[in-house]
């Protein structure tokens, strides 16, 4: 089932399928947020932004707007 990181619930995992490269910060790509990599939603901030994820062994905080640009397949 394809969705985006922004649609995951806390604790859910997925595999990155596609990224809207023009809308994603380069540092996120450099930290391993690339197609084929597993991602897990760890926590959502109280105001629903940012989202805390684990990707490629790193813990990242990303804006919900950015998370909506990363398509995943749920595991």
Does an H or E element contain 28, and which? helix 26-30
pLDDT single digits (tens) 27-70: 888 888 999 999 999 999 999 899 999 998 899 999 999 999 99
Torsion of CA 26, 31, 36, 37, to 10 degrees: -140
The overall pTM is greater than 0.75? yes
Q: What domains sit in the chain, N to C, each tagged with a CATH number?
A: 2-74 (2.30.30.90)
């Amino acid at each position: 089932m394809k969705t985006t990181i922004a649609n995951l619930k806390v604790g859910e995992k997925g595999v990155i399928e596609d990224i809207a490269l023009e809308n994603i910060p380069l540092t996120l790509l450099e930290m391993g947020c690339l197609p084929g990599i597993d991602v897990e939603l760890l926590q959502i901030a109280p105001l629903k932004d940012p989202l805390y994820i684990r990707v490629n062994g790193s813990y990242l905080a990303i804006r919900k707007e950015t998370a909506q640009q990363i398509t995943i397949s749920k595991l």
